[in-house]
Amino acid sequence: MENQINAKQTIINYGLLLGVASILLSVGVYASGMDLMKQPFWIKALSYIIFIAAIVMGIKKYRDLNNNFLSLGQAMKVGVGIALIGGLISAIYTYLFFSVIEPDMMNQIMVVAEEKMLEQNPDMSDDQIETALGFSKIFMSPFAMSTMAIIGSLFMGAIISLIGGLILKKEDVSYNL
């Protein structure tokens, strides 16, 4: 029963850490005036480093709390749980950002999308452009972007948890005979 408490607390703590760190990075990028649609490589890399570090540190902390034992299943549970909480927090921020803080940003994204479409396909008719932009608007709504953030977080969390779990796992091989 104690392991369950440790897992929940570890998931919550590191999930909150991941969510808050992700928001701070996003706010920093926004406050610095960087173009949100053309972020430099180092911002994306820093985002991935934060994500990976939070999950791996959470899995390692759980292993430490679990008498230095960790199964792959436990690593997956803890890592995906951290990713879920971090993803939910990021999704809430994303939704608030695009619907309350900077609602005009969606229009700017759509203008850039239209420009890229015309660059790549200069022979597109107006009807084709409108149809393509209609589909883009569905996937570029604050709700859709927030949902995609959660799904992406879970997917990446599962991959990182699997790799981290394989590296950090240490099974209890003692047998009570």
Instruction: Please give the tally of structural domains in the chain.
Output: 1
Per the domain annotation, does 152 fall within a domain?
A: yes
Label residue 77 by pLDDT band (50, 70, 90): very high
Cβ(94)–Cβ(146) below 8 Å = yes
pLDDT of residue 5: 58
**Is 125 contained in some domain?**
no
Taking a C-beta distance cutoff of 8 angstroms, is the pair 86, 15 a contact? Answer: yes
Has residue 10 been placed in a domain? yes
161, 55 contact by CB (below 8 A): yes
Q: What's the pLDDT score for residue 27?
A: 92
Task: Write down the pTM of the prediction.
Answer: 0.84
The answer to the question of residue 37 being in a domain is yes
Range of the domain at 67: 2-96+146-168
Residue burial 142-171, b: 16+ Cβ < 10 Å; e: rest: beebbeebbeebeebbeebbeebbeebbee
Residue 68 lies in a domain: yes
Residue 47: inside a domain, yes or no? yes
Kindly report which listed range (121-125, 144-148, 158-162) carries the lowest average pLDDT score. 121-125
pLDDT band at 171 (very low <50, low <70, confident <90, very high): confident
Rounded Cα gap, residues 149 and 114, in angstroms: 23
Answer whether residue 157 is part of any domain: yes
Asked whether the predicted pLDDT for residue 4 surpasses 70, the reply is no
Asked whether residue 24 is domain-assigned, the answer is yes
Say which residue, 12 or 169, is predicted with more confidence: 12
